[in-house]
Structure formats: structure tokens, C-alpha cells
Amino acid sequence: MGSVGGAVRTWTSRRELFTPKASTHSISGTSTSSPELPQNVALGNKPPAKGEVSKEIAAALKQQQSDKSEHGAVKDGSKTEDLMKAQQSDTSEHKVAVSNTEAQAKSAVTGGAAASATAATTTTTTTTAAATTTTTGTAGASAAATGTAAAASAKPANGVFPDANTWPITPVKEKMPGNTIHTLFTSNGSPYQNIQARIMVGTYNIVRKMPGGERLVALTRILHRTTPDEVMDEIPTFLAQPLQPECDKWCWFPVADRANAMQQFIDAAEKDPSMLKAPWLLLLETDYVWMKPLPDPGDAYDRSVPGWSFGFDYIAPSIPIIVKLLKERCPDCDPKDVPNSGPAPVLARFSDFKAATPIWEDLSKWIETHEDAKKQLGWVREMYAWDIGVAANKLNIKNLPPPASPLISQPPHDRSIGNASMYHYTWGTIYKRHGVEKEIWLFDKRTYTAYEHQLKLPLIPMPPDWSGGITLQDGLPVTRELHGTVVDMLTRMNEAIKQLPDLTEAVAKKKKAEEEAKAKAATTAAAAGATAAKTA
């Protein structure tokens, strides 16, 4: 059972699949129709050559639990859609970004200390929602000065920067050790994500003490939320203004805010480069478990050294809607060059994120306002938006699947950790016996949503000892190797949980002090008003 947004949900053993219907709108808004896609393609699963899904992948798809935050129904769909469309305005987006980043630069926290305000040597303002991209800086200024009608007709598509691979890799003037890494992750500050975030940061702190951990020099949470949350004092945080304020409590797809929040962080870091503590940036999600430090990525100042991304076997850039989007953004791009990755996990330079994020943000918004695209791309839709941004800007990021990837392994879909440094527990794991309906044991992140659990995390129940005859919820056998992988991940999670402080009392005191301060301010204001009325 899981409770999300106050609604109790019983999780089935089969992942809820979308069945996309024929399209009625093209990318450009003209009427067209697209063939109905198989369910596996709708989820982004790369179809095999013969057009059939392998038993392994089909079973893995069944393993993944549906999430109300991923495809819950919108109670007021028309209102939400109108709001999202309004947010696509270049002018309003730019004004919000400028005001937010100037205010947020002072509140950005990296490496556990508040960032000091310094002037950026290169300032770039990117409007990403519609027709115009303006870049101020050395290359951008010269291009603007020589602009002509002929040049305008040959202008690259919005969000495509032909000179991106020549940009300074970081706005930080002083050269930092080239193999150091500043870890970032996004969150909306809900109890659901705070539980995961505290565990992830706890495991991060564990591996920093291992050989190689010295390369992990800073960690920053990018919080897209209207107000600070309960773990602000524990996790170094940059506060971004959300596109969906309702996500502070509950919303149907909080990931839709991720690209915009990252753009706010990029804009703020250009104004205040002291926010950046390393030339490599590692973007993660909350539901990761660190097992060891990342291997040495090489010198970020050497442009021949590639970044890293993770190859997801359920991302298929060759599906028709992605091919159409790619042609608009990068007509000369080959769909085969689009990585089957996503924005997390990604190890890349600041300049790479700066180049890819405008398209990532723009297409994420476009997809959210086009129901056909949402249905075809499903819960991985903003991952495709990132992939197009990477391909269109021809970024040097090496995409590797498991077990070769140094980034993550995803049990129980992946049976071992392979070369990975982290686990990603996006999939639910349920142990059953053949012919018996009730599970023996389960672990699913979606059952950890209670407010009190973000403050005092409960230990995760471990699975029973391995024995033959145990299967997953889809019927695949739990091998000794897979069981060992699950135990390995949960053991590290519990190790971190045991080291996390109980925040219950501290948060209660802070809230009480805030309420008393508000009450005092209200009383003072009322008294001042009464005095003014008497003397009027």
C-alpha cells in the first residue's frame, strides 16, 4: 500500500502502461495523424530489430511500479494546461528568471557554505520558450554586431549553439583540479523526495571518506519550491522558483519543473561563479544510493575527455515523434546520434549543461501542453527533451549502458552492480512464491511518503535469506546474484539512515519560532495601524 497526496494506493505487480491513440496534432500544430505505437514504444522502450520485445525487457517493464506522481489524473486539466502555456512566453519567462536568479544567487548554498556574491566574467541570458536566443559575451556580441538579413535566414534553431564546444567550460576564473566533481540533484521538497534525498546524501557522505572520495568536493540540491522545506538546514540547497507551485504539496508530474530549475541554477551561477566548486557537474536524482566514488573522470579542461551519461533501454530516440522534434531543432542531426539517456545521471561540464538546458526546458514545456506527445512519451518524456538538447549541440558526452556504465545500476532490472558507482531504485522489488498471491517481502520507494518519515527515517526491512523458488512480481526467478545485489543496496541505505539525525524536534522548534514571529509582526502592524487611525 502507498499513500501519495493523501490518497491510498494499492500497487499491483504489473506496471501501468499507456496505450497511445492516433495523433491529431503535429509538432508545428497542423493536423495530422500518427500510427498507434505499441505499448513498449509508448514507454520509450527501444524495439528490437524484429519488432518484438524480449522476455527480459518485457518482464522488467512489468516490474516497475506505476506512480501517482508520474501519471495521476489532473483534477483541473484545462486550468493547468492554460497555466503551462502562459509560462511559455519568452518575455515572462525571462523576467521571472532574471528576478529569481538575482535573488537566489545569495541563497544558493554549495559545499555547506553560503555562496558569496561575486560578478561573473561572462554573462549569458537565454530565452528558451520561443523564437529568439540572445547571447551576450565575446562570441555572442560579435555575432550580433554583424547580423544581417541573410545571416538571420541561416540562423540555427532555437537552443542550438554551434560554438558551444568553444565556450569556457566554467565561469570560474581560477582553475580548479580538473578531475573534481560538484554533485547536483533536483527535488520539489515533498516528504516522498526528502526521504530519498536524505538517504542519497547520507550515502554520498559515506563514500566521500573512501579512496577517491576527495574528488567529490561539493553537493547542492536544486529545490524547485515556493518556500524552504524541512531539510534546508541539513542539505546544501539552491532555491529555484517552481513552474508548478502546487507541487509544494502534491502535483501529478513534478519532474516537469526540473529543466527550468536547472536553468535558474545555471543563470545564477553565471552571475555568481563561486556557486560552482568543480569543473565537472554530476546531475542526479533523489532515488540514488552511492556505493563508491565515481572513477576518475579525467581532466575537464581537456575538451577531448568526454562526459558520461547512462543508456536506458526504455528510451528509444528513433520513435516518430522524437524524429519530428529533432528535425525542427536540428535538421542535420541523425536520430541515431541521439543518446538514449536522460538528464540524470549525467557527468558533464558547466558549458555542456548551459548548451543543452534551453532545449531541454523548452521541449519539456511543449510536451506538457500537448496531450498526444505526453501519451506517446509517457513518464520519461522530459528525458527525451534532454537527449535532443545534447544531440542538437553535439556535446561530447559518452553514453554507456549497464553493466559498462560507471554511473548506475537499476536492480532488480539489472542483476548486479557491474561497473556502477551507484544504485538507482526506480523499480519496485517484490519477492513471491509461485502460486501464492501474497508477497514474501517488498521494497518500493512509493510506500515511503509519510511526513514524519522525512524527519526520522525508518530502517528499511531487509529481504529474507535467499532460497530457491523465490520469484519477482513478474515471475522471473530471484537468483542468488540478484538477491545479493538487493541486499547490497539496502544495507548501504540502512547504514546511511542510522547516521542521519532525527529532525523532528528541530523542525518543530523552527516552525514554532516562525509562527511566533509572524504573530508578533501581525500584532505590531495592527498596533501601528490603530495608532495611525487615532492620529488621523
3-state secondary structure 44-84: CCCCCCCCCCCHHHHHHHHHCCCCHHHHCCCCCHHHHHHHH
Q: Clarify whether residues 486 and 443 are in a common domain.
A: yes
Q: Clarify whether residues 439 and 481 are in a common domain.
A: yes
Please report which confidence band the pLDDT of residue 328 belongs to, taking 50, 70 and 90 as the band edges: confident
- Sequence-ordered alpha helix ranges (H) in 369-458: 371-377, 381-392, 451-455
Q: In angstroms, how far is the first alpha carbon of the chain from the final one?
A: 62
Alpha-carbon span 163 to 230, nearest angstrom: 42
Span 50-64, average pLDDT: 39
Give the residue, 273 or 366, on which the prediction is more confident.
Answer: 273
Total residues found in the chain within this entry: 536
This prediction has a pTM of 0.72
> 225: closest CA among 195, 199, 191?
191
Structural domain including 532 reads: 508-536
Alpha-carbon span 516 to 495, nearest angstrom: 37
483 lies in some domain:
yes
Residue 29, pLDDT score: 35
Mean pLDDT of the chain: 77
The grid coordinates of residue 115 equal 555562496
Q: What Rg value do the Cα atoms of the chain yield, rounded? A: 24
Alpha-carbon span 213 to 296, nearest angstrom: 10
Alpha-carbon span 295 to 76, nearest angstrom: 47
Span 60-86, average pLDDT: 38
Residue 272, pLDDT score: 98
The grid coordinates of residue 491 equal 544495507
Alpha-carbon span 337 to 392, nearest angstrom: 9
27 lies in some domain:
no
**Which residue do the cell numbers 534546508 mark?**
232
Q: Does 527 have pLDDT greater than 90?
A: no
Which DSSP letter does residue 262 get? H
Q: Clarify whether residues 490 and 514 are in a common domain.
A: no
Q: Clarify whether residues 422 and 461 are in a common domain.
A: yes
Q: Clarify whether residues 512 and 495 are in a common domain.
A: no
331 lies in some domain:
no
Q: Clarify whether residues 463 and 516 are in a common domain.
A: no
In contact, 378 and 43? CB cutoff 8 Å: yes
| Listed range (55-64, 274-283, 348-357, 446-455) with the worst mean pLDDT | 55-64
440 lies in some domain:
yes
Q: Does 6 have pLDDT greater than 50?
A: no
In contact, 166 and 354? CB cutoff 8 Å: no
- Return the number of other C-beta atoms located less than 10 Å from residue 441's C-beta: 14
Span 224-253, average pLDDT: 91
Domain count of the chain? 2
Which helix (DSSP H) or strand (DSSP E) does residue 194 occupy?
helix 191-207
- Return the number of other C-beta atoms located less than 10 Å from residue 59's C-beta: 17
Give the residue, 114 or 335, on which the prediction is more confident.
Answer: 335
What is the DSSP track for 458-516?
PPPPPPPPP-TTEE-TTS-B--HHHHHHHHHHHHHHHHHHHHSPP-HHHHHHHHHHHHH
In contact, 260 and 129? CB cutoff 8 Å: no
464 lies in some domain:
yes
| Listed range (4-8, 200-204, 259-263, 347-351) with the worst mean pLDDT | 4-8
Q: Does 307 have pLDDT greater than 70?
A: yes
Alpha-carbon span 29 to 36, nearest angstrom: 19
| Listed range (209-213, 270-274, 333-337, 353-357) with the worst mean pLDDT | 333-337
At residue 163, what is the residue type?
D
Residue 98, pLDDT score: 35
Residue 331, pLDDT score: 85
E strands, 143-287, where? 181-187, 216-224, 237-240, 280-284
In contact, 472 and 414? CB cutoff 8 Å: no
The b/e string for 494-527 (b: 16+ C-beta within 10 A; e otherwise) is bebbeebeebeeebeeeeeeeeeeeeeeeeeeee
Q: Clarify whether residues 514 and 435 are in a common domain.
A: no
Alpha-carbon span 216 to 343, nearest angstrom: 19
Please report which confidence band the pLDDT of residue 276 belongs to, taking 50, 70 and 90 as the band edges: very high
Residue 155, pLDDT score: 65
The grid coordinates of residue 96 equal 521571472
Q: Clarify whether residues 513 and 457 are in a common domain.
A: no
424 lies in some domain:
yes
Q: Clarify whether residues 451 and 494 are in a common domain.
A: yes
Q: Clarify whether residues 420 and 471 are in a common domain.
A: yes
Sign of the Cα torsion 17, 187, 249, 364 reads negative
Residue 112, pLDDT score: 37
**Which residue do the cell numbers 538546458 mark?**
357
Q: How far is CA 276 from CA 117, 185, 407, in A?
A: 12, 14, 21
Give the residue, 308 or 73, on which the prediction is more confident.
Answer: 308
Give the residue, 358 or 512, on which the prediction is more confident.
Answer: 358
Q: How far is CA 1 from CA 37, 90, 127, 433, in A?
A: 31, 43, 43, 19
Span 460-484, average pLDDT: 96
Span 236-262, average pLDDT: 89
In contact, 296 and 198? CB cutoff 8 Å: no
Q: Does 465 have pLDDT greater than 60?
A: yes
Alpha-carbon span 244 to 79, nearest angstrom: 12
Please report which confidence band the pLDDT of residue 154 belongs to, taking 50, 70 and 90 as the band edges: low
Beta bridge partners of 443: 429
Phi-psi region of 491 (alpha: psi -120 to 50; beta: other; left: phi over 0): alpha
Q: Does 43 have pLDDT greater than 70?
A: no
User: Percentage helix, strand, coil, to 5, in the chain?
Assistant: 40, 10, 45
Alpha-carbon span 231 to 197, nearest angstrom: 9
Residue 131, pLDDT score: 32
151 lies in some domain:
no
221 lies in some domain:
no
Residue 325, pLDDT score: 86
Alpha-carbon span 450 to 425, nearest angstrom: 18
Report pLDDT digits (tens) over 25-35.
333 333 333 33
In contact, 110 and 277? CB cutoff 8 Å: yes
Query: Mean pLDDT: which of 134-138, 467-471, 488-492 is highest?
Result: 488-492
Which DSSP letter does residue 395 get? -
Q: Clarify whether residues 427 and 445 are in a common domain.
A: yes
